[in-house]
A and B are shown apart, each in its own frame.
Chain A
Amino acid sequence: MSTTSDVSSTPAGAAERRPRSGGSDSGQSSGGNSGRNPEAPENGRRPRSRRREILAALPWIGPALILIFGVVLYPAVVMFFNSTRDISQSGVDKGSVGFDNFVEVFSFPYFWPIFGRTIVWVVVVVAVTVLLSLGLAQILDKAFPGRRIVRLAVIIPWAASVVMTTMVVYYGLEPYFGIINKFLVDVGLVDTPEGYGWTRNPETAFAWSIVVAVFVSLPFTTYTILAGLATVPGDIVEAAKMDGAGPVRTYFGIVLPQLRGALSVAVLINIINVFNSLPILKVMTGSIPGYDADTIMTLIFKYIQNQHKIDVASALSVVAFLIVIVIVAVYVRVVKPMKEV
């Protein structure tokens, strides 16, 4: 945004409904004389000048558009394309099969349990993460000696690779030599001397996966909320105190509504992240036979890894993609994260 050249075009504080893009006037004779008076353009004029605005902005937004197309849209298009093809085990394209791959996805007997488990996975992980983060952020927002150290400590799970973190927990849960298992045996919570096969049974492996997922999601969420807390004006809280509101009342009446923006962002990004998370479940439930601990993501992986069905995996990816879009759309409709407080 160059703010150097144009000083004449619009008076500061002109009550424009849309802020005009800064680059539009620089070096362009936009609309000749009428550019002087943006308040009352003739009706026929408006769309053309907007198109011109977009054209003028292209050099600035072009690289970003190319990047979005290359990194986001193109692979998505390939995914949609692959989902309608028949691709052999060794990866050779044998032609189009229409929607057969989707039929295979939905006729898979374990699909709906897996779908349900995916929803449970997302809801539980995100809900627990947000609740814990609200508490953590509240603590980190208070001034206490050593606060910086504690704040740093909270970032650590974020800095470590997810696979590494999960591996540590996984090996801790191993029978015979896992440190978590050993501890549970030593304090008498598990009565078999070699420990319990936490990662060998679908239910317990899934539960532990949720624990790990919450652990690695905490830093980001906490920091987002912490940033939100920093924007809560002190005088409002002060005023609430003057009016005799207790800490609980102040928190729920004043602070939490102010956090709306930060919370919405945190929840939205977490939903997408958790839904698309593969490594935790892959490590924790990877050796379990059958489909009793799978989510849609791990099922996609199994289609590729075990059955080499790239085409069916693509179809399932498309389904997953649509599910995420639906979840996000519903969330945006219900929560209205962009609404002002």
Chain B
Amino acid sequence: MKKSLRFGSAVAIAAVASMTLASCGFGGGGDDDSASGATTIDLLVPSYSDATQGLWEDVIKGFEAENTDIDVKLEVQSWDNLETVIATKIQAGEAPDIYNGGPFAGFAADDLLYPAEDVVSPETYSDFQDSFLANAEVDGTAYALPLIASARALFVNNALLDQAGVEAPTNWDELLDAATKVSALGGGIAGYGMPLGSEEAQAEAAVWLWGGGGTFGDASTITIDDPSNLPGAEQIKKMIDAGATQADPGSTDRSPLMDIFIQGKIGMQVGLPPTVGQIEENNPDLDYSIVPIPTQDGSPITVGVMDQLMAFQNDGDKQDAITKFLDYYYTSDVYVPWVQAEGFLPVTKSGADALGGEEALKPFLDVLPDAQFYPSTNPGWSAADSAFKALFGQIQTKPAQDVLTEVQAQADAG
């Protein structure tokens, strides 16, 4: 009986927007501690680094000290499991109240989320950078709050490039030439680190496909099998065939490969703001510089990534508590140290002002205006993202056009 009731309520929530859901989980999101009059907020977040859990715990401690009637429960998951966990929780009627994740359009399409404006004060809302907020909109309504941003740039191992007698490249031809020469140094040195394995294939794909003038689509359509994406895909093959990359790029994951770069065995690799901190920590002697990503014609481009916070409606009775928590979190004193510790770029205007002078972030803040984003407001992006991860690496062995077609097919089916 309990089972059918749960399915019934799931159908109801999909059909009727903002309808209150009969509580049918097992103490997941829907129980107020009426004895003490305290409200419980469930917070589900992914782990960005080893420090993530501690950072959130500090935020919660500070918040609970100010709001004794609200109790925040933290759950930290790895990125690998995050989307499975959230799907399972929603299916069981135990969605968290606040969730930090990537793709959100699917949840918005199922009418599970609060509009962003309903869960933060107007002051907080107006503090977000407009471009980021625009990226969180579905049909003109923002359903997610920007949390952090990151841009990518090319990390160059100066010592290796000097040894090979080449300059840091600005376009594809120079990159191919430089990477080939660095690879020729031998001794297991790779010219260009190309991680097309399942971990983050869509990012490396974006670097190349967009760099050739391609696109993944927009809020209404996903276009991967598109003529504009072909030059980038062909260029990837050209790099691999020339031996300009490490061995087996199609199944190499990003994190382990970055470690190899940090050890000084790779000439060039695309990295993120937190990479700076990793080098600082693990190999401070590495002689490297950060330059914009080379493209077909040398025009600047970077892959911008934005992660969001979103609030699930659940029973609809925790809006006030959620609003209080989010407003507290986005105050400069709380948010800026948090972003800084994680090594990402801030998404609030006040945060950008506070961190503008950071030396390590400067190359990334410089390229941010040229950032293109994934079409994450498209409900189909999540499937496209997975299709890239699962299939794109086959470009090592299959014709570029076939791979694009296959990725598009799986994205459309998802």
By a CB distance below 8 angstroms, the chain B residues around A247 are none
Residues of B within 8 A of A306 (CB): 386-387, 389-390
User: Chain B residues with Cβ under 8 A from A307's Cβ?
Assistant: 383, 386-387, 410, 413-414
Answer whether A302 and B390 are a contact pair too, CB < 8 Å, given A92-B14, A201-B251, A287-B197. yes
Q: B383 and A89: CB pair below 8 A?
A: yes
Interchain CB contact (< 8 A) of B7 among A93, A192, A193, A201: A93
Chain B contacts of A88 at CB under 8 A? 14, 106, 110
Q: A88-B110, A308-B382 are in contact. Are A176 and B87 (CB under 8 A)?
A: no
**Contact residues, B8-30 vs A (CB, 8 A):** 10-11, 13-14
| Distance between Cα atoms of A132 and B392 in the complex (Å) | 39
CB-CB < 8 A to B7: which residues of A?
93
Asked if A324 is at the interface of the complex by the 8 Å CB criterion, the answer is no
Contacts of B14 in A (CB 8 A): 88, 92, 94
Tell me whether B126 is interfacial, beta carbon within 8 Å. Answer: no
Nearest-neighbor residue (CB-CB) of A74 within chain B: B3
- Chain B residue at smallest Cβ distance from A309: B414
Taking a contact as CB atoms under 8 Å apart, the answer to whether B251 and A93 are in contact is no
Is B393 at the interface (CB under 8 A from chain A)?
Answer: yes
Q: Which B residues are in CB contact (< 8 Å) with A78?
A: 3
Are B10 and A93 in contact, with the CB atoms below 8 A?
A: yes
For the complex, give the distance between the alpha carbons of A175 and B256 in Å.
Answer: 10
Asked if A304 is an interface residue, CB under 8 A from chain B, the answer is yes
Contact A89 B390 (CB under 8 A): no
Q: Among B87, B250, B263, which residue has its beta carbon within 8 angstroms of that of A90?
A: B87
Q: Which of the four size classes fits the interface of chain A?
A: 20 to 34
Given A289-B198, A307-B410, the answer on whether A197 and B251 have CB atoms closer than 8 Å is yes
* Chain B interface residue number, banded: 35 or more
Asked if residues B10 and A92 are in contact (CB atoms below 8 Å), the reply is yes
The answer on a CB contact under 8 Å between A289 and B414 is no
Chain A residues 272-300 with CB under 8 Å of chain B are 286-290
* Given A92-B10, A92-B14, A305-B84, 20 additional A-B pairs, CB 8 A: A88-B106, A89-B383, A90-B87, A92-B11, A92-B13, A192-B247, A200-B251, A286-B198, A287-B251, A287-B252, A289-B196, A289-B250, A289-B393, A290-B391, A290-B393, A305-B83, A305-B386, A306-B387, A307-B413, A310-B91
Judge if A31 is at the interface, Cβ distance under 8 Å.
no
B112 at the interface (CB under 8 A from A): yes
Report chain A residues within 8 Å CB of B88: 91
A sample of 14 cross-chain residue pairs with beta-carbon separation below 8 angstroms, ordered by A number, consists of: A89-B87, A91-B87, A92-B11, A92-B90, A94-B11, A176-B188, A176-B263, A194-B265, A287-B253, A289-B196, A289-B396, A290-B393, A308-B383, A308-B386
Residues of A with C-beta under 8 A to B225: none
Report if B86 contacts A (CB, 8 A). yes
Digitize B367-385: 1 where CB-to-A-CB distance is under 8 Å, 0 elsewhere: 0000000000001001100
- The reply to whether the CB of A95 lies closer than 8 angstroms to some CB of chain B is yes
B233 to chain A, nearest CB (A): 14
Contact A304 B84 (CB under 8 A): yes
Residues in A whose Cβ lies below 8 Å from that of B91: 87, 91-93, 310
Cα A288 to Cα B196 with chains together (Å): 9
Nearest CB in chain B: distance from A93 CB, A:
5
- With A91-B90, A92-B10 already in contact, the answer to whether A308 and B414 are too (CB < 8 A) is yes
Point out which of B196, B383, B392 has the most chain A C-beta atoms below 10 A from its C-beta.
B383
Chain B residues near A174: list those with CB within 8 A.
256
Closest to B380 in A: A89
Taken residue by residue from 75 to 98, chain A's Cβ proximity to chain B (1 for < 8 Å, 0 otherwise) reads as 000100000000111111111000
Docked complex Cα distance between A175 and B84 (Å): 30
A87 to B88, CA, bound (A): 11
Minimum CB–CB distance from B408 to chain A (whole Å) comes to 14
| Chain B nearest Cβ from A76, distance in angstroms | 14
Question: Is B242's CB within 8 Å of the partner chain A?
Answer: no
Within the complex, the shortest CB–CB distance from A311 to chain B, in Å, comes to 11
B56 at the interface (CB under 8 A from A): no
Counting chain A CB atoms within 10 Å of each CB, the highest count among B107, B198, B410 belongs to B198
Task: Kindly state the separation between the CA atoms of A289 and B201 in the bound complex, as whole angstroms.
Answer: 9
Q: Are B389 and A197 closer than 8 Å at their CB atoms?
A: no
Complexed CA–CA distance, A176 and B189 (Å): 10
Least CB distance, B300 to chain A, in whole angstroms = 29
Q: Which residue of A lies closest to B260 (CB)?
A: A176
Whether A194 contacts B247 in the complex (CB less than 8 A), given A89-B414, A289-B197, A306-B387, comes out as yes
B84 touching A90, Cβ below 8 Å: no
Tell me, yes or no, whether B327 is within 8 Å of chain A by CB: no
Interchain nearest-CB distance for B156 vs A (Å): 19
Interface membership of B199, Cβ < 8 A: yes
A313 to chain B, nearest CB (A): 11
Distance between Cα atoms of A85 and B90 in the complex (Å): 16
Given contacts A289-B392, A305-B84, are A193 and B187 in contact (CB under 8 A)? yes
Is the C-beta of B394 less than 8 angstroms from some C-beta in chain A? yes
Known: A89-B383, A90-B110. A200 touches B187 (CB 8 A): no
Q: Once the chains are docked, how many angstroms separate the CA of A176 from the CA of B86?
A: 36
**Contacting residues, chain B, for A287 (C-beta < 8 A):** 197-199, 251-253, 393
Contact with B along A207-235 (1 / 0, CB 8 A): 00000000000000000000000000000
Q: Give every chain A residue within 8 A of B357 (Cβ-Cβ).
A: none
Cα distance, A78 to B413, chains bound together (Å): 24
Residue of A nearest to B199 (CB): A287
Which 4 residue pairs are nearest across A and B when measured between Cβ atoms? A289-B393, A91-B91, A200-B248, A194-B188
**Interface flag for B186 (CB, 8 Å):** yes
Residue of B at shortest CB range from A199? B251
A200 to B248, CA, bound (A): 6
* Structural contact, B112 and A90, CB atoms closer than 8 A: yes
Chain A contacts for B197, CB-based, 8 A: 200, 287-289
Q: Of the candidates A90, A95, A290, which one forms a contact with B11 in the assembled complex, judged by CB atoms under 8 Å apart? A: A95
Question: Smallest CB–CB gap between B414 and chain A, Å?
Answer: 5
B201 CB contacts on chain A under 8 angstroms: 289
> Using Cβ atoms and an 8 Å threshold, which residues of chain B touch A89?
87, 106, 379, 382-383, 414
B4 to chain A, nearest CB (A): 10
| Least Cβ–Cβ distance between B29 and chain A, in angstroms | 14
Give Cα distance in the complex from A176 to B190, angstroms.
Answer: 11
Per the bound structure, the CA–CA distance linking A174 and B83 in Å amounts to: 28
Encode B329-364 as 1/0 by CB contact (under 8 A) with A: 000000000000000000000000000000000000
- In the docked arrangement, what's the CA distance between A46 and B396, Å? 72
Residues of B within 8 A of A302 (CB): 390
Encode contact with A along B392-414: 1 for CB under 8 Å, 0 otherwise: 11101000000000000010011
Choose among B87, B198, B386, B390 the residue that contacts A310 (Cβ–Cβ < 8 A). B87
Bound Cα distance from A196 to B248, whole angstroms:
9
